[in-house]
Structure 1
Amino acid sequence: MYSFSLLSLLSLGAWVAAKPNACPILGPAFPAPTEIGSHPIFIEATQNLTAQIKQAIASGELAGNSISVQIFSGSDSYTAYGLSHTDDSIRNGSVGVREVDENTVFRIGSISKLWTMLLYMTFNGTRHFQEPVSKYVPELRSPYNRSQQIDQIDYVNWDEVTIGELASHQAGIPRDYAFMDLAASAPPQALAGMGLPSLPKSERLPCGNAPFPPCNRQRGSIKKKMVSMNWLADTCVEFFDGILDTQPIAATSSTPLYSNAGYQILGYALEAIAQKPFQDILMERIIKPLGLSHSSDSMPAPSLAVVPSDMTSSQFDLDIGDAIPAGGIYSSPNDISTLGRAILANTLVSPAMTRRWMKPATHTASLQVSVGHPWEIMSFSEPRLVDLYTKAGNIGMYNSIMALSPDHNAGFAILTAGNGSFSLPLKLGEQVADIMLPALEQIAKNQAAERFAGTYALENGTSNSSITLITDDEPGLKIAEWVSNSVDMGQAFAAKAGLEKTPSLLGMRLQPTGLKSPGRVSFSAVIQGLSSQPTSGTMLSACLTWLELDSYIYGNVGMPEFEFNLNDEGDVVSLTPRALRITLPKV
């Protein structure tokens, strides 16, 4: 206990002093912005975005590609911004739409994984993350003999692979089974030119690439009614025949390695949990409740879709069988935005479950990228550290990305079709993020200033107390002045931190906690020492405010605990620094 208290004092006065600027706790600096679509800052930012995209079109940078971009907010029921571009090849094509708009159907590839994990969340999904997948997929229950079980190089230990490891790509299994296998997808002369030997017939794969059918749970895609978890007993299981004969490529939970096959298995586990086929679960728990009229698990009418080249070359009509949970869903820009708003607004899943789900599960070799279930989490450093929870997808000539910013309760979707590579929506997504994140942050700051900034004071015979809040160039509401019973609290905290001679180097800022009650909104005061001399090095320059946020308590109430009190119209009428047992009316 003593050592922790000492660490807290050090971090207030010295360790956190390593950064010359404010070092906020992770999370929103201000309450999320609302009604963004009509805000002048948003309108100006989207005009800039439109100009950049149109310039890319005019320069030929996007030639051969049709795109649709949407930006949305979880607090609204409409899309805040939309832009679509139709390539000339589509306007003059022979199949599909002639004009791309918000209701045009695209293949969304691996964004389907996000839909799969949202379905898991509707079944209290994170509860299953620590369970072995073999509990729900009988084909994986102790499939090997004793000698195989101890062979870690040639055989996956399926008894230790969890649902969470599959969902976060940490199961150590291959990316795919059979799909795009060179032995089936390239002609013999091409294989010889790559220095690859010919394979005996016994090693050629029976499924996964044309002219063979997809590798499904049962040969020939025979569908049987599910009556129990063992509904497939005594049938030929070609997908699992192959998976069980496939070597692992890493130990479980050692490193993230992307796996489509893992999500096909997750689809089977979900069917066992729900006791229904995946297609029925998808329809009942996402498509119908959200009214997604242009989304499906099977190929829709081509007349509704953008089809570059032709249906086969574009892979619009590619049947991937039981791999739908990994990459088989069709959807439209408007439906993707609706799904994103539903996640942000907790329409299908509780707020607590959503927060638990939208967290990193592991790191990658890049400091800017972490992995969730199935999130690809991109960290942006401007205007402060902001995490975007994204999911990208690719199948054939379709590339896409969906991104959510929980801090701003907003997100965007980009769908493309054409000759562009997987990097096209990522490049466009970078443009959107670079323009929109600062704009959303500024809107949030302006709205917070209008609602919360000002002076709160109580002056009478027994108390001379006041707090003045402002916004500036740093995150959070700055406590510009704080007097309690005629005592300057800034001076008091500066002395506590050893900064009595330089009290201006003490920072005190309020950040929202996400905690609300009727008529009350909670904030935390981040109180930290600053320094005019930045310190380099990972350890000394790290933000350590999370270690000491609630170090100072008074009568079992933390000094950083603040709450704003609201009237029936939602306007702020007073501020309560809870540890001081006083409420200060807004002046």
Structure 2
Amino acid sequence: MMYSIWLLLLASVNAQQATACPLFGPAFPAPTALSTDETFLSATKELTSKLNEAIENGDLPSVSFALQIFTGQEPDSAFSFYHTDDLIKSGAVGVNEVDGNSIFRIGSISKLWTMFLYMTFGGIRHFHEPVSKYIPEIRANQSSLQSANALDHVKWEDVAIGELASHQAGILNNYLGFQQSTLQSQGFPILSESEQLTCGNTRQCDRAEFFDGVLQRRPLAATSHTPLYSNSGFQILGYALESMLDASYEDILVDRLIKPLNLTRSSLHAPDPDLAAIPYNETAGGIFSSANDMATFGRAILSNTLIDPAVTRRWLKPSAHMASLRSSVGAPWEIYSYSTPRRVDLYGKAGDLGLYSSFIGLSPDHNAGFAVLVAGSNNSHQSTALISDIVADTLLPTLDTVARNQALERFGGTYKLVTEDTNSSITISADDRPGLHVESWISNSVDMYETLMTLAKVSDPSAISIRLQPNGLQSSGRMGFSAVIYTLGTPSDSGPITGSCSSWMTFDTFVYGNVGLSEFEFDVDDNGYATSISPRALRITLPKA
């Protein structure tokens, strides 16, 4: 019974062609030395051509931007592209040519900074705590509204830090609104003095004014009902962070992020105008950073520079789905799912503020990402989205190809052990499907593919395919892989249940002597090249031929 489900699913594939049903996550080890890889360099030429074409045909009107592609493994960015519009070139204030050090406003990417700070001192362990634990204004309001109805008053005792971080608290977006005088002629009623906002539009609210307004607002939805973007929620998270660490947000940011990563062009205060990209000769407040600093920040997340790897893995996960099948939300990730060449999730965060827009995207599967900073016009957000789409559509398939090529070079080939008592071998190859292909597998002169076919009562050899995917487990000189025994795909018109990819459910259901048939590991040399392979259930190590 231990492997009855495994056998049942394998038996269902009779006389059909095995198709890819990988485990979700990396198909190959993340690519390395990207900046010198010929496949990547060829793709950057294509990317450069696409960006220049978008500039020339007017798809990116009146904007200047900085783009960098980076990895968690290389200290410098693998690719950079800069464009300076005439408004910047002829400006009397700021830089006249955009480069990696040019300073932009990054808007809501500051939310990502905030959550990074949470990760540096406890990860997500605070996510299930009520935010009222750290905010006295909320506790005072909470005690006075214990019997209030849920339609008219936020049940703050139910609002957890993690729900604020993933925009699932059901509270207001911003404590501000339209100016009353501009809307009375368009059908809106005259507001009484008590109903009018005293801050938010004309000046920034102080803490007392902010909570006075926020705590009067009705809920927009029940907690964890649906994601609803909330800037106010992150202002509350900032206050909670100050309470947890007994320090100002600025001091926490400088001590835990800016100084450790040496972000020389990042700050909460307006920079020297001579260092900034300033369209229309205007300066303004906000959060500031450069492409170089944003790449350094992204690289720090990917390489776990300041955060424990286990914490990073927990953080880089969805918290809720969106209405689109291609997007989810994290804390505070805006997650976009790409289906080519396989499902890959891009963990992003966008920011918009005035004439500035920005985006950072990370692909954990590939240990790589990119940052885009844009300045120039009221449609900067659309320009940022277009640039990000062009980059992602080119980059993600390229990274998969580079990872496959490098994996084949490092792990491909034949491994065998032939003695008087043993005749065992495994041949590893790669094709256009996810994972390294176990092309042939002989154990003690027995074809393991035939063994699997016999167990599953399958007569067609094409009905079974074994793929090796990295599982993130490694120690000095050893790398763990998971053997995924592919079952067959279903017709294109099948439903989500019959057409689901069930590898994760049937994984590790065949166990021999308390060792799973799925458990493989490679011994690797100092350069990461395999020297032997061990299918652990068979209790044997095969040196590379």
Please tell me the TM-score bracket, short chain as reference.
Answer: over 0.9
Larger mean CA deviation between 6-15 and 118-127 belongs to 6-15
1:557 paired residue number: 515
Match of 1:192 among 176, 184, 199: 184
1:347 paired residue number: 305
Structure 2: gaps spanning 5 or more residues: none
2:429 aligned with 1:437, yes or no?
A: no
Q: How does 1:12-161 map to 2 (within 5 A)?
A: 12-14=10-12, 21-144=19-142, 149-161=147-159
Report how far residue 532 of structure 1 moved: 8.1
Q: Map Cα deviations across residues 61-83 of structure 1 (whole Å, 9 max, x no partner).
A: 22210011110010000011101
Larger mean CA deviation between 190-199 and 90-99 belongs to 190-199
Q: Map Cα deviations across residues 206-242 of structure 1 (whole Å, 9 max, x no partner).
A: 11112xx21121xxxxxxxxxxxxxxxxxxx111110
Contact residue 13 and residue 463 of structure 2 kept, 8 A: no
In 2, Cα distance between equivalents of 1:489 and 1:467: 10
Larger mean CA deviation between 346-355 and 89-98 belongs to 89-98
TM-score by length of 1: 0.90
Contact residue 138 and residue 156 of structure 2 kept, 8 A: yes
**CA gap 1:16/1:417 in 2 versus in 1, 3 angstroms:** farther
2:292 aligned with 1:296, yes or no?
A: no
Q: How does 1:494-513 map to 2 (within 5 A)?
A: 494-499=453-458, 501-513=459-471
Contact residue 166 and residue 329 of structure 2 kept, 8 A: yes
In 1, Cα distance between equivalents of 2:173 and 2:490: 49
In 1, Cα distance between equivalents of 2:527 and 2:520: 20
2:179 paired residue number: 183
Match of 1:243 among 193, 211, 214: 214
2:241 aligned with 1:270, yes or no?
A: yes
TM-score by length of 2: 0.97
2:407 aligned with 1:448, yes or no?
A: yes
1:229 paired residue number: none
Contact residue 67 and residue 85 of structure 1 kept, 8 A: yes
Report how far residue 15 of structure 1 moved: 8.2
Match of 2:501 among 529, 532, 543: 543
Q: Map Cα deviations across residues 2-55 of structure 1 (whole Å, 9 max, x no partner).
A: 5x8544433344389999521100010100000101111111111111111111
Contact residue 21 and residue 487 of structure 2 kept, 8 A: no
Report how far residue 569 of structure 1 moved: 4.6
In 2, Cα distance between equivalents of 1:531 and 1:141: 54
1:394 is paired with a residue of what secondary structure? Answer: strand
Contact residue 6 and residue 510 of structure 2 kept, 8 A: no
In 2, Cα distance between equivalents of 1:246 and 1:171: 13
1:526 is paired with a residue of what secondary structure? Answer: strand
2:385 aligned with 1:395, yes or no?
A: no
In the alignment, residue 214 of structure 1 is paired with which amino acid?
A: Q
Q: Map Cα deviations across residues 523-574 of structure 1 (whole Å, 9 max, x no partner).
A: 0000122258556211111111001111111111100100001234543211
Structure 1: gaps spanning 5 or more residues: 218-236, 319-327
In 2, Cα distance between equivalents of 1:63 and 1:80: 26
Q: Map Cα deviations across residues 369-426 of structure 1 (whole Å, 9 max, x no partner).
A: 0100000010000111000000011011111110000000000011111112422211
Q: Map Cα deviations across residues 143-177 of structure 1 (whole Å, 9 max, x no partner).
A: 15666643101110111100000000000001111
Larger mean CA deviation between 68-77 and 149-158 belongs to 149-158
Q: How does 1:328-343 map to 2 (within 5 A)?
A: 328-343=286-301
Contact residue 445 and residue 471 of structure 1 kept, 8 A: yes
**CA gap 1:529/1:291 in 2 versus in 1, 3 angstroms:** same
Aligned-CA RMSD value: 1.8
In the alignment, residue 272 of structure 1 is paired with which amino acid?
A: S
Report how far residue 266 of structure 1 moved: 0.1
2:12 is paired with a residue of what secondary structure? Answer: helix
**CA gap 1:192/1:13 in 2 versus in 1, 3 angstroms:** farther
